[in-house]
Structure formats: structure tokens, C-alpha cells
Structure 1
Amino acid sequence: MDWYHCKLEVMEKVKESGLEYTAFRNGQLINYWAHGSPHLKAVEEGLAGMGFAFVVDVGNETAEIPGTGDQKVTFTRTQDVGAFVAAAVGLEKWEEEMGMGGETTTYNKVVRKVKEMGRKMEVTYRSRDREDGGRKFYLQAMLAVAKGEGEIKMRLNELVPEIKLWGVDKFLGIWWGNEGSGEK
């Protein structure tokens, strides 16, 4: 993806410096899915700064799924990313890459879960074709998933098992289901 090349350059320079470093990998952030939720804390806590829906728009009952929808994708809540990064500071040694995730599943399974919650979903599948323009980042991220590049090796989950993560079911249940009012 175009926006990722600058990160690779920085990581190469850090590697050359001899400093200890890690590249945190978290996959797709699920907080986008709280967009449009009727719960009072959806904007503050559910979205956690994410101002629009990404791929799955539960509020508008649409999904624009990359590829076939059967490619594996790792999903993580932004709050869980923060907990892992804070915990990683206390680790003895950092690995070159440390991934984390709440759950690895497919977009088709996410849409199925949303439908099981009683919502209708209009689903569009996007091929691997690439487009330019204002949606370039969005389309490149979707293209990466369609190529099967959405799954993260969740090494931090193994190194810091005490962090209690939210998966797809819990996140959707809190913000769109009947599991509460969006409170933990």
C-alpha cells in the first residue's frame, strides 16, 4: 500500500541504528463498526476516534467486502491496542514484529453475525481491481485484505495473556445488540 512505504523506510533506519524496536501489528480496527450506533457512549468509547464505517456499516446495513469475503482478517479494538502497547513496554525484549488481535475471522462471518442480530445487510463484493482518487487509502486497504494480507500473527496475545480482549461478537453485541448500553 502506498502509505506503508514510509513506515518501512523508518523501520529500516531504526534497524540500522542498533536500537531495540518493534513493529506493532493490529490488523483491522473494529471500532469503525460502532459508527451509527444508538448507544449513548458509541461516539466516545465505541468509535474511539473513528469517524466513519469501514467495510461493514452496521448502521446503514451495508457492507463493501474486499475479495470473496472468505479471506482471514485479524480484528482488534483500539482500546486493546493501547493495553498491549502499554504492556509491551514492560517486556524484557522486543521482537522485530509483535502482532496482537481480538479475533481472526472473515468479513463473511462478520456479516453473518450482524444478520443473526436481526439486521438486514446489503453486501457488495469488490474485486482486486485498484482505483485511484479520494478513496485510494480505503481501496488499497481493501485490496490488501482481498489478497489475504489481513491476518496478523498475534504474538503479543501469547506474551501478555492477562489482557482480556474483545472479539467481533462482543463488540457487535455491545454496540448493536442487547448486551447492554455500550458500557463495559
Structure 2
Amino acid sequence: MTVVAVAGGTGGLGRAIVETLRDLQKHEILVLTRKVNPIFEAEVGVRTVAVDYTSVDSLKTSLEDNKVHTVICTLNVMENGDPQLNCIQAADLSKSTKRFIPANFGVPHKNEHVIDSFPNAIIKRQANAALEKSSLEYTNIYNGLFMDYYGMPHIKSYLQPTSMAIDIPSRTAAIPGSGDVPLVLTYTFDVARFVGALLGQEKWDVESYVIGDRVTWNQLLQIAEEVTETKFNTTYDSVEKLKRGEMTLLPSHLPVRALFQDGQLETVLSAFGLWFNDGAYNLTADRTLNDTFPEIKTRKVRDFLQEAWGASK
């Protein structure tokens, strides 16, 4: 069987992908980690391989020794893209490795998305530039916003809890702009199923789009209120306010605010608010992975929220 390595596969989206590929039983799966993780191996039934993400030569050796054909990168590249860039270089040098999926999940980032307080956009663009120069076949998977955030903790997910615009546990919302611009939301395990299907494709496009469901913030808020049978405490942040780098913080934001410099969290969230309002998350494509793999049915927002929050959980 083809060997597929998931970098960063012990948690987050990576773990959802690992468990899904394991269950498909079509490939040999291993997880690249900074140290061998016997607890994870026993729990998930997938082998871990310790690698040094700071050394291209060491990574290359690990890929070749394990005959890795495809690398799926799900490393945290929010602030530091060097581990992924090293993985790309090592995969390009590896005699066994031919394909690469970068940690560019979400939306394609444009020039206007590059801001000092949020380096993730430029990190993703750097990964694409490196892949373009390589001999690797690669694809960027764009799935919009992860739906998981609106079902946690009642829906299975390995993501870290966070809130964008709507904080269901506190029944609070801070809607960016009008709230009438559609956005795409996709469950991590649905993304993982499309990744599994992609591995069997003979040819990849540079961009692969996954559409879980498409709603506006106002529609999502209405569904949340109907499911929880509660009227949310809702604020609308104007575009003018967002452009000033200001954003109404939700209760779930307050515990993490101390991790940011003064005003930095608001700057980042307001930037996201502008992207939502500008339609960056309203993904469109001539052909999506949903079209290519119609047998894969994605979770829909109303059913997802009903399962998570029905009967006022």
C-alpha cells in the first residue's frame, strides 16, 4: 500500500484525517511527530515517527526510510511556517515522495489578507511559492470555516475551541458587517473524507474546494436561536468599526485575550470580520470536490447544531 505521512497528525484537523484514513484501510498511515508517542499509537492504532522539523536532511531521511509517497501537512502554521517549508523541501528531495498537501486549509489568502498581527496569510503564500518551485504534485484544500467551532463540546472534534461571530455556549453574538454575506462552513471529518478520496485520484488540481454548507451569519444565528430556544445577546460591528481594528469580544475570547498584546486580538478578529464581510469565505469554484465525489455527503449547519445543542444542552 502507498505510505501516507500526516505531519501534525496527533491533534486538530490532522487527527481527524489520520482516523479517517485509518478506517478507509486503503493506505499505510504514519504520523510525523517531534517524538514518538506510544499513547497515541495505542489509542489510534497508527505508528508515529519522530522527526526533526528544523533539519531538511533529517526529514528527507525519515521520508525515504519509511518510503513515504504522500505528505499531508497539518502543522500549526499560525505564526511559524518554517517546519512546513522544511517538510516541503525534504519531500522534494526525497526519492520516494511525490505528493504534498500543505496546511493551507480554510480560504485562499489574497494580498489584502497579509497583516502584521496575523502572519498566517503570508506563511501560507510562502508554502505555495515553495511548492510551485518543487517537483511535487500538490493541492490546496479550501473548506471555509470549520463547522466544529459551533458544535463543541457536544460534537466530536480535535480542534481547540474558539468562536467567530457567534458564541453558542454563552448565547452571545457579535456579527461583522451586515451579517448577510454567505460563508462556507465544513466539518473537519468531512474534510478528512475528501482528503481520503483525493488520495485515490490520478491527478490533482492545485486548488481543491470543499463546500460543507453555505449560510450567512444571520442565518446561522437564527438557526442557533431556534435550536437552543434562546434569544441571543447580539451586537453588529459596522465595517467602519472593523476598519479601525475594533471588534466586540465574545465571552469565549476573554480568557485568551491575555495571550495577545494590547489590542492585537481585536485587530486579528476585526480583520477576519472584514474578510467575512467581503466574501472571502463565500467560496466559489467551477468544480468542487463535492462534484467530483458526490457519494460524500457533508454535514449541514441546521442538523449539526440540532445534534450539538438540541434540547438546550
TM-score calculated relative to the size of structure 2: 0.51
Tell me, yes or no, if structure 1 residue 147 matches structure 2 residue 278.
Answer: yes
- Cα–Cα, structure 1 residues 13 and 52, in superposed 2: closer, same or farther, change >3 Å? closer
Q: Kindly provide the CA deviation profile for residues 34-85 of structure 1, in whole angstroms up to 9, marking residues without a partner as x.
A: 24x5xxxx26x1x432323322111111111111101110010111111111
- CA offset at residue 18 of structure 1? 3.7
- Cα–Cα, structure 1 residues 139 and 86, in superposed 2: closer, same or farther, change >3 Å? farther
Q: Kindly provide the CA deviation profile for residues 99-120 of structure 1, in whole angstroms up to 9, marking residues without a partner as x.
A: 1021111010111112222121
Question: Structure 1 residue runs of 4+, over 6 Å off?
Answer: none
Q: Kindly provide the CA deviation profile for residues 114-152 of structure 1, in whole angstroms up to 9, marking residues without a partner as x.
A: 222212112212233242513443332222101111112
* SS of match in other structure, 1:83: helix
Tell me, yes or no, if structure 1 residue 122 matches structure 2 residue 253.
Answer: no
1:68 — aligned with what? 178
Separation (CA, whole Å) in 1 of partners of 2:136 and 2:230: 50
Separation (CA, whole Å) in 2 of partners of 1:119 and 1:147: 29
* SS of match in other structure, 1:134: helix
Separation (CA, whole Å) in 2 of partners of 1:89 and 1:153: 23
Tell me, yes or no, if structure 1 residue 166 matches structure 2 residue 299.
Answer: yes
Q: Unaligned 5+ residue runs, structure 2?
A: 1-112, 246-262
Moved more, 146-155 or 84-93: 146-155
Separation (CA, whole Å) in 2 of partners of 1:48 and 1:163: 21
2:108 — aligned with what? none
- The number of equivalent residue pairs is 172
1:133 equivalent among 249, 264, 285: 264
2:220 — aligned with what? 110
Separation (CA, whole Å) in 2 of partners of 1:60 and 1:77: 22
Identical counterparts, % of pairs: 29
TM-score calculated relative to the size of structure 1: 0.84
Alpha carbons 1:67, 1:147 under 8 Å: kept: no
2:91 — aligned with what? none
Separation (CA, whole Å) in 1 of partners of 2:191 and 2:269: 21
Matched residue type, 1:105? V
